[in-house]
Structure 1
Amino acid sequence: MNILVIGPSWVGDMMMSHSLYQTLKQQYPNCEIDVMAPNWCKPLLERMPEVRQAITMPIGHGAFALGERYRLGKSLRHQYDMAIVLPNSLKSAFIPFFARIPIRRGWKGESRYFFLTDLRSNKKDYPMMVQRYIALGFEKGQIPNAADLPCPVPYLQIDAVAQQHTLKKFEKQTALFAQRPIIGFCPGAEFGPAKRWPHYHYAKLAEMLIEQGYAIRLFGSAKDEAVGEDIHHALPDTLRPYCVNLAGQTSLNEAVDLIADCVAVVSNDSGLMHIAAAVQRPLVALYGPTSPTYTPPLSDKAVIIRLIEGGLMKVRKSKDSDQGYHQSLIDIQPNMVFEKLIGLLAKA
């Protein structure tokens, strides 16, 4: 059986989708899985052994582009027995429909009844995003309830030789680290400062860790470079050599290799948090308005800190501080994170 998965467009969601691919291999042992996703996803999919190939989705996130979706679907005809559509949008179901794939499976969403042959409507029975992905790996009528649903943990393969090449590339930036063990910080978040732990808390934590003999790598995309610089400049002059800002300087592949090289990671709820969990790094995950019930780090080496109750809060901007930070994240003090992190390191 050949299966086409229409994948998600975000790093964290892509990482959680790995649990589905593992489930598909368990349910259909001889299946071959191809995943259609944005080109930036390829480094992650290439590290998932269950995936045969990544097919580039050439259409930008949010673009309708019906004609291009038709042409792409037509080019995939007679290649697949089943398609699984992970995004909830109507347009995400077009390509498998145009490809005439016999079984087209997905959750109910955006009036796409006509386009899916195996439509699931009980999404709310599965409170976690990863559970919703995994449930699509089962035949209808054979899906365990949420409490009994097996959850394979996402993981990424690390090639030791490739990792050494990555470490060699960035050795000048970390030359002053000497033999200090390295802690990774992931201070960015997709939707801005309301989902970020304050930069001054990260800086204080970095100061505490450097004084204990650690060094700090800051990770993120180009748009996180500024917050990385805020953290770096908030450190005392004498400690700055032991903190390097790599935000915007690494490819996704290089970030995976470098995160895997850290002894532990501290992260906001972000895609890099899910990568840190997937490479089995001891992890302190910091949550505010987002929900650890819905999208937790899937690792037994992770500790979550969240000081408020309730589910996902749809906060895009916050007026709780001049910098836009949310009060629930401001209230997480550096000493709380330090204690949890040291506890994880002691266990490791």
Structure 2
Amino acid sequence: MKEVSRPLASSPARKPRVLVIRAGMLGDTIWGTTPIESIRSVYGPDTEVDLIVKQGMGGLFRHDPRIGRVFEIKRRKLPLLLSPTKLKVWWRSLRQPYDLMLDLETSTHFRSLFGAARARKKVRGYSIRDQVGAQTEHAVVSLRKIIALALPRAIAERAAPSLVAPEHLDVRATFSLEGPYICVHCSNSWLAAGRTALRSWPVENWRDLLSQWHTLFPRHTPVLIGTSAEAGMIGQIAQDQPHCINLAGKTNLPQLMAVIAQSDAMISTDTGPSHMAAALGVPVVSLFGPTQPLQTGPFSDGRNAVKVLSVGLSCSPCVKTPAFDTCERNRCMESITPPMVATAVHQVLFPVPVAAAR
């Protein structure tokens, strides 16, 4: 497919309009922001970017001045004529065709919409599905390959996830957050869904880290974050830890973004909020065991600080292998110690300049 080397001509009476499709969970949705700044650099800073996202993810973007319409979809497998969301997008494209329609999915879920909607240029991730998704290739690198079908390759290869924090929310006043703090996400979506907790750090390790907090991070307050489904487990970790602020289950998505954006760092396992922090430019320490950080870790291209902690056991990573299905004890996570985590946090909080490290 021929690359676009300059902004497409458009009527002076309207802004350029682009549709981006990425309807997954939190991390997938954040990765789906990868082309936004690249699109604006090619089509112009006034480009209106519409998004199709999974139901519940719209709160990431409703305050974002770069975004036009956000279409939330509940069942992405439904064909066009049975999907109210897809019909809305189709009708919008008929009234005012898109300059670019970019489907970042590698499935066929949006095939009927893709064929019926009006756009001057259409690009589908499905067309190169066999060239992306390797376990040693980060999801963002895979997306860059799709983006390169629509935009100049030199621009696509620098594309990275980006979020805009909702600055109108005064979360410090709402949640009594005083002074510097570090966000801590002790849970993950597997736990919230009742799945095996193999990618979780043990509760006792979290409690051990928090019990030493004042010694390790005397200037920072630990702020525990999470969804209402994770609040029970996080409450156990926060029990008898009076210096903690526990916001688990107390924030909506925009508030969570604002809380993370104003933090000095994030500590987590392989979770959606870690990708949010990375996309907001907040330093991240992420603990990995059974999952592959090369593919699903918080993305960093040198413009943000990300530290992945893994002890590198011979059986790790094991997700999507028989070893994962038979594992009864996640030693790969148990072996990560609180001192290791503390050291990593200090490294992202106080990075040593390259000249000083020589």
Q: TM-score, normalised by structure 2?
A: 0.77
Q: 1:26 to 1:254 in 2, by over 3 A?
A: same
- 1:318 is displaced (CA, Å) by 6.8
The DSSP-based 3-state class of the residue aligned with 2:83 is helix
Residue in 1 that maps onto 2:4: none
1:206-243 Cα deviation digits (max 9, x unpaired):
1111344242111111111122012112xxx4xx2111
Asked if 2 retains the 8 angstrom alpha-carbon contact of 1:47 and 1:156, the reply is no
Residue in 2 that maps onto 1:228: 234
1:138-193 Cα deviation digits (max 9, x unpaired):
3379646xxx9623333333354x24x2221112xx5xxx65x3221112222232
The DSSP-based 3-state class of the residue aligned with 2:35 is helix
- With 44-53 and 282-291 compared, the bigger mean Cα shift is at 44-53
Is the counterpart of residue 52 in structure 1 residue 59 in structure 2?
Answer: no
- 1:75 is displaced (CA, Å) by 1.9
Is the counterpart of residue 105 in structure 1 residue 123 in structure 2?
Answer: yes
One-letter amino acid of the counterpart of residue 34, structure 2: S
- With 19-28 and 193-202 compared, the bigger mean Cα shift is at 19-28
Query: In structure 2, what is the Cα distance between the partners aligned to 1:141 and 1:158?
Result: 26
Residue in 1 that maps onto 2:8: none
One-letter amino acid of the counterpart of residue 138, structure 1: A
Query: In structure 1, what is the Cα distance between the partners aligned to 2:151 and 2:50?
Result: 25
Residue in 2 that maps onto 1:170: 175
Percent identical = 20
Q: 1:12 to 1:312 in 2, by over 3 A?
A: farther
- Give the superposed CA RMSD: 3.0
- 1:107 is displaced (CA, Å) by 2.4
Which of 133, 136, 150 matches 2:143?
133
Residue in 1 that maps onto 2:299: 298
Query: In structure 1, what is the Cα distance between the partners aligned to 2:123 and 2:317?
Result: 27
- 1:28 is displaced (CA, Å) by 3.1
1:10-159 to 2 correspondence within 5 Å?
A: 10-29=25-44, 31-46=47-62, 48-57=64-73, 59-60=74-75, 67-68=82-83, 71-72=87-88, 74-78=90-94, 79-101=97-119, 103-108=121-126, 119-124=127-132, 127-139=137-149, 143=153, 150-159=157-166
Q: Write out the 4+ residue segments of structure 1 that deviate beyond 6 Å after TM superposition.
A: 315-318
Gaps of 5+ in 2: 1-15, 192-196, 353-358
Asked if 2 retains the 8 angstrom alpha-carbon contact of 1:219 and 1:245, the reply is yes
Query: In structure 2, what is the Cα distance between the partners aligned to 1:91 and 1:159?
Result: 31
- 1:346 is displaced (CA, Å) by 2.7
1:253-292 to 2 correspondence within 5 Å?
A: 253-292=254-293
Asked if 2 retains the 8 angstrom alpha-carbon contact of 1:85 and 1:93, the reply is no
One-letter amino acid of the counterpart of residue 54, structure 2: P
The DSSP-based 3-state class of the residue aligned with 2:172 is helix
One-letter amino acid of the counterpart of residue 150, structure 1: E
One-letter amino acid of the counterpart of residue 331, structure 2: Q
Aligned length: 317
Asked if 2 retains the 8 angstrom alpha-carbon contact of 1:72 and 1:95, the reply is no
1:292-328 Cα deviation digits (max 9, x unpaired):
111232243111111236666227777434xxxx221
Is the counterpart of residue 328 in structure 1 residue 323 in structure 2?
Answer: no
- 1:287 is displaced (CA, Å) by 1.0
The DSSP-based 3-state class of the residue aligned with 1:19 is coil
Q: 1:259 to 1:73 in 2, by over 3 A?
A: closer
- 1:90 is displaced (CA, Å) by 1.8
- 1:71 is displaced (CA, Å) by 3.5
Query: In structure 1, what is the Cα distance between the partners aligned to 2:113 and 2:298?
Result: 31
Query: In structure 2, what is the Cα distance between the partners aligned to 1:16 and 1:334?
Result: 29
- 1:73 is displaced (CA, Å) by 5.1
Residue in 2 that maps onto 1:200: 204
Q: TM-score, normalised by structure 1?
A: 0.80
- With 305-314 and 79-88 compared, the bigger mean Cα shift is at 305-314
Query: In structure 1, what is the Cα distance between the partners aligned to 2:225 and 2:79?
Result: 33
Query: In structure 2, what is the Cα distance between the partners aligned to 1:130 and 1:295?
Result: 9
Asked if 1 retains the 8 angstrom alpha-carbon contact of 2:76 and 2:109, the reply is no
Query: In structure 1, what is the Cα distance between the partners aligned to 2:76 and 2:325?
Result: 22
Q: 1:243 to 1:92 in 2, by over 3 A?
A: same
Query: In structure 2, what is the Cα distance between the partners aligned to 1:141 and 1:39?
Result: 28
Query: In structure 2, what is the Cα distance between the partners aligned to 1:67 and 1:8?
Result: 17
Query: In structure 1, what is the Cα distance between the partners aligned to 2:157 and 2:65?
Result: 19
- 1:85 is displaced (CA, Å) by 1.5
Asked if 1 retains the 8 angstrom alpha-carbon contact of 2:29 and 2:57, the reply is yes
Asked if 2 retains the 8 angstrom alpha-carbon contact of 1:81 and 1:103, the reply is yes
Query: In structure 1, what is the Cα distance between the partners aligned to 2:132 and 2:75?
Result: 29
Asked if 1 retains the 8 angstrom alpha-carbon contact of 2:48 and 2:67, the reply is yes
One-letter amino acid of the counterpart of residue 188, structure 2: A
1:305-344 to 2 correspondence within 5 Å?
A: 305-308=309-312, 313-314=319-320, 319-321=327-329, 326-344=330-348
